[in-house]
Structure 1
Amino acid sequence: MKIILTQEVSGLGTPGDIVEVKGGYGRNYLLPQGFAIPWSKGAEKQVTVIRRARSAREIRDLGHANEVKGQLEGLKVSLTARAGDGGRLFGSVTAAEIVNAVKAAGGPTLDRRRLELPGSIKSVGAYPVSVKLHPEVTAKFSLNVVRAK
């Protein structure tokens, strides 16, 4: 089955890629989840629109990725969240909140889908966060979650 990816799928490709997958995987998972659209000649024209949008968001090249990595690794990122007496959060910290905290700390604008979290963040403390900036470059920084007063 030929499909066009609309989102990044680990091990398969990036948005705008035309890939061949098994019928069940495409029909039962990729299409219903919105990760892909069925391939057709008309849909293939949409690929250029998807790629154009991706290039606007993406890191330009390896040199730019290393520059952004340098900015991130020297950054102190702190996030304030509501927590109970034991330090347990009401809810969990999301990738979008981390991206906003990085921007508030003076860092670059990141794509939330590129963040790699150590699991769900549900209590106050320091957590390692990595960001896949480029296929060859991964930046790591520490996120400090503090309790709101």
Structure 2
Amino acid sequence: MKVLLTHDVEHLGKAGELKDVSGGFGRNYLIPKGFAVLATKGQIRQAEERMAAQRRRAEASRKDAQALAARINGVSLHFVVRVGEQDRLYGSVTNVDIAEKIQAQLGIEVDRRKIELEEPIKRTGAYAVKVRLLSDVEPVVNVIVEPEGGLPATIDEGPSDQDVPQL
């Protein structure tokens, strides 16, 4: 019996595929549960049209993602933050901050969940951060975290012996 799958069925196939199954499996399980319909010429034609439309949409989204990747690949994002001892930040730079900086600097809205940052940035320095637009479209932005004032913060330990007037 030939059936056209309407949903993904584990160990059988994905939605839109034409499968040859035993009569009992099709009549007693797949068709009553709504996982498949009997494969007629009309159903097969509709499935092919849906698959073609889906491929066109996927290709269009791939082109959009590649154009977006070309715009943001290699862009440097500068963050000026307050730092404490050993160039550690008060707070951190997160994927939300990076998404907001891309929006402000380039006018491109990027979903924060697509920015691959294993953990928030907590030290000054330069970091290469991937932005996963699609599974194979991953531009890299350069995140540069600098301390306020341009120099690393140092702890003031009070006046030294040379600064104290002699009596």
Q: TM-score, normalised to structure 1's length? A: 0.55
Higher strand proportion: 1
Question: Could you tell me which amino acid in structure 2 is paired with residue 67 of structure 1?
Answer: A
Give, in whole Å, the separation in 1 of the partners of 2:109 and 2:91. Answer: 24
Give, in whole Å, the separation in 2 of the partners of 1:114 and 1:70. Answer: 16
Question: Could you tell me which amino acid in structure 1 is paired with residue 140 of structure 2?
Answer: K
Aligned residue pair count:
92
Taking only aligned residues, the RMSD between alpha carbons, in angstroms, comes to: 2.1
> Cα distance, 1:118 vs. partner?
4.5
Gapped regions of structure 2 (runs ≥ 5): 1-7, 11-59, 150-167
Largest Rg, 1 or 2: 2
Decide whether aligned partners of structure 1 residues 132 and 66 sit closer, same or farther in structure 2, where only a CA change above 3 A counts. Answer: same
> Cα distance, 1:125 vs. partner?
0.7
Decide whether aligned partners of structure 1 residues 144 and 107 sit closer, same or farther in structure 2, where only a CA change above 3 A counts. Answer: farther
For 1:77, what is the secondary structure of its paired residue?
strand
Which contiguous aligned blocks of 4+ residues in structure 1 show a shift greater than 2 angstroms?
none
Contact 2:78 2:145 in 1 (8 A): yes
* Percent of aligned pairs sharing the same letter: 32
Give, in whole Å, the separation in 2 of the partners of 1:143 and 1:122. Answer: 12
For 2:131, what is the secondary structure of its paired residue?
strand
> Cα distance, 1:117 vs. partner?
1.3
> Cα distance, 1:85 vs. partner?
4.6
Residues 22-33 of structure 1 aligned to structure 2 (within 5 Å): none
